Chain A
């Protein structure tokens, strides 16, 4: 009986405690339910539509794009920021801007290029004698594994200064800028091969390789195009210039590029215009390039067997120019590595279909898109069935035997993207429409949707992978005219979101691009991106644990001659140390670590008047070096509103004047 009583008592006690706990949890659930609210619609939808003048289509579009608070977008767009030199990150379908990633251009919020370690990355992108701090960013490309976006890296090119940058999508920060040593401008980049072995960067306006001087009268002899195959080291997350190589191209103005995939893996395609090799000379009464370059009915699509080129490079059949191994045309032509095929007229856009079987080229001054059959071209190259050679001895494939067909699209077809149902969507610049057609059945009618206005590039959800998602297409319009509130003579660009899920294309939303003219963009499923929420303590801008990282309690100031090293920490809501006193002329280095670990707890650090500002995300470390050349008493403070005592998060940087 006694044992029975005790067991019962214990059970009872456990039960009571459990009941207390469950009771408490219930209370918490109730509180949550209250917080989520119970809002009744106070105005009927019909009244709202009437008062705002909305059609049913408007309401449907609104419902398809509205993302209520607490919910998230389905896709990311990574858009080139054009002249801003930085990347715009946009959510789809809301078309809200999520972030601007500092890449080629200083970006002061992220402290990108204002005294911290990011300066070293920007310095790495200098070309020639000039500190280059702007870029004309054109084509972002996401890293791929087996032809699918893997959400790890983003590559972007700078047309103006011939550079490629690597952005790490773990922290949405730029890790590397690689200057092209051969070309003076680029365009066909940064396109990746299906496993991101290479990032392809092709020159745009020809110039002597290595950027030597040559008179313009020697254009045909001395000026050249070039395609760089940048070797990407995925383990390190960096381009390895020492393992990269280049392919010399004729001085036709190479334009866009795309890598083959699946059946056509190992091949790359670059289109070109100005095979006339016009160089202008308007003051001398010669036609400008625009007309000189538009005389021929055909230009050349470059067909490149890069796997074979790689083998030739590894076999040492290269010439070293400006420190880079270059496979020259006199080797590449006869070896079948570089072959040309005609393309109508002044083309733009060069897009491999998802199945890797075709390349689609839009003729800017032609009304067609031309669909090239890659298998046919490979067979012709194999059989050496050529239509002759160009001035540089490069074999030319017979046009009619190389193509699968042509489709009448409209005035000024440019770029083409794809969906999951065998449809192609071509941007038609002059007509200002998106043209939907079938790349599997050319006889299907072409459907057109007006866009506003002058569409350049176009993008679709995962549109250049081996398995596009369909769903959304975005028209990237160069002009917006009457679409947004006036903001002076420089107008925003206009991204227009189009629903391509149904039988017909349907317009969904406009988004003004307020910071520059984006060119190409790519759209990736949001769940493929695994962004970190905080850094491992002591991580610097290069993504490494910095040897000078500072731990709490180990803050100090060390003087060595005229070199002063400050080991500083930042945590809500103070810097330690909060007073630094140096002598005029001292070389100062501030090593500063954020001791924060919590999500979204970012500090900034600035020293007034010294052009210093870094962003200290949780766990981030920065090294700031400068000369204390202005005597005075300068406040230093946190530039990110971090806490209720954010304004109090400050200190003084004192520079004692030299004794006279």
Chain B
């Protein structure tokens, strides 16, 4: 620490090994400022924005995998605190046992029987979206770029459609020998509903919102990336990956 202070006087020699007054080698300083007289390129900041947006997008999808996606509440006089069902990508939590128990009176299947394949594949799905999103950033300027972003954008929509399918399916495939026959129905996926004496309320949870944010971030990363390329003199030289545009300093590129 002390020697750092001694050597700080030598920072005017960029990219050089600095020798402190005590004869020890201390720091290797890399100067990232544009060379004297060179015009600062208008899109420099964007390179880092692309990396940040892409990284946050992938982190969002991983986070959403760990968070609950949807919540259902059921209220009835004898459940003053209500019952809650929490749906995540790989399973469900909350009062599953009690809700199953109540459902058996109307002949509904066990909640554990819902969407078994989807829950099994969800992990791979999120992993694939992460990989494709990163690939999308790498494929900037290529037509393929647009296509690899589709899974990320579609994911929340697929989740919603699939959830609706299972709600419909559970509400329409009731055991005809059940003690209570209430007729086919589809539980509400959004907002207020009513099933027998139960007032229901459903809404997305943190995981869904985080995934949606992940979509927005992925799209934003791609848009910014495309614009970086448009302004880059070497865009035509880029093959699949353009590391220069992403992380290397201006010095590594020649001025246009």
Contacts from A to B (Cβ < 8 Å)? 2-3, 6-7, 10, 13-14, 17, 20-21, 23-24, 27-28, 31, 571-573, 595-598, 600, 644-645, 648
Our pick among B203, B219, B224 for the contact of A24 (Cβ within 8 Å) is B203
Q: How far is the CB of B115 from chain A (nearest CB, A)?
A: 22
**B212 near A598: Cβ-Cβ < 8 Å:** no
CB of B250 within 8 A of chain A? no
**B97 near A597: Cβ-Cβ < 8 Å:** yes
CA distance A7 to B199 in the complex (A): 37
Known: A24-B190, A28-B201, A595-B97. 10 other contacts (CB 8 A): A2-B227, A6-B219, A10-B212, A14-B212, A17-B204, A20-B190, A24-B201, A572-B105, A596-B101, A648-B179
CA distance A27 to B192 in the complex (A): 8
Majority DSSP secondary structure for residues of B touching A? helix
Chain A residues with Cβ below 8 Å from B175 are: none
Chain A residues with Cβ below 8 Å from B203 are: 21, 24
Chain A residues with Cβ below 8 Å from B95 are: 598
Knowing A21-B203, A24-B191, the reply to whether A10 touches B216 (Cβ < 8 A) is yes
CA distance A180 to B169 in the complex (A): 65
Our pick among A6, A14, A596, A598 for the contact of B223 (Cβ within 8 Å) is A6
CA distance A627 to B245 in the complex (A): 86
Chain A residues with Cβ below 8 Å from B209 are: 14
> What is the chain B residue whose CB lies nearest that of A28?
B201
**B192 near A24: Cβ-Cβ < 8 Å:** yes
Q: How far is the CB of A536 from chain B (nearest CB, A)?
A: 14
Q: Encode contact with A along B220-246: 1 for CB under 8 Å, 0 otherwise.
A: 100110010000000000000000000
Q: How far is the CB of B91 from chain A (nearest CB, A)?
A: 17
**B191 near A3: Cβ-Cβ < 8 Å:** no
Our pick among A20, A598, A648 for the contact of B191 (Cβ within 8 Å) is A20
**A6 near B220: Cβ-Cβ < 8 Å:** yes
Q: How far is the CB of B80 from chain A (nearest CB, A)?
A: 9
CA distance A598 to B102 in the complex (A): 11
CB of B98 within 8 A of chain A? yes
Our pick among A3, A20, A648 for the contact of B224 (Cβ within 8 Å) is A3
CA distance A326 to B95 in the complex (A): 55
Chain B residues with Cβ below 8 Å from A21 are: 191, 203-204
> What is the chain A residue whose CB lies nearest that of B188?
A24
**A28 near B220: Cβ-Cβ < 8 Å:** no
Q: How far is the CB of B215 from chain A (nearest CB, A)?
A: 8
CA distance A537 to B227 in the complex (A): 61
Q: How far is the CB of B239 from chain A (nearest CB, A)?
A: 25
CA distance A522 to B95 in the complex (A): 38
Q: How far is the CB of A317 from chain B (nearest CB, A)?
A: 58
CA distance A572 to B179 in the complex (A): 12
Q: How far is the CB of B42 from chain A (nearest CB, A)?
A: 14
> What is the chain B residue whose CB lies nearest that of A572?
B101
**A10 near B191: Cβ-Cβ < 8 Å:** no
Chain A residues with Cβ below 8 Å from B105 are: 572, 644-645
**A28 near B223: Cβ-Cβ < 8 Å:** no
Q: How far is the CB of B97 from chain A (nearest CB, A)?
A: 5
**B101 near A7: Cβ-Cβ < 8 Å:** no
CA distance A10 to B213 in the complex (A): 8
CA distance A323 to B105 in the complex (A): 58
Chain B residues with Cβ below 8 Å from A644 are: 105
Chain B residues with Cβ below 8 Å from A572 are: 101, 105
What are 29 A-B pairs at a CB distance below 8 A?
A2-B223, A2-B227, A3-B223, A3-B224, A6-B220, A7-B220, A10-B212, A10-B215, A10-B216, A10-B219, A13-B212, A14-B212, A20-B190, A20-B191, A21-B203, A23-B191, A24-B190, A24-B192, A24-B201, A27-B192, A28-B201, A573-B179, A595-B97, A597-B97, A598-B95, A598-B101, A600-B78, A645-B105, A648-B179
**B212 near A3: Cβ-Cβ < 8 Å:** no
> What is the chain A residue whose CB lies nearest that of B83?
A598
Q: How far is the CB of B46 from chain A (nearest CB, A)?
A: 10
Q: How far is the CB of A24 from chain B (nearest CB, A)?
A: 4
**A3 near B98: Cβ-Cβ < 8 Å:** no
Q: How far is the CB of B208 from chain A (nearest CB, A)?
A: 9
Knowing A6-B219, A645-B105, the reply to whether A28 touches B227 (Cβ < 8 A) is no
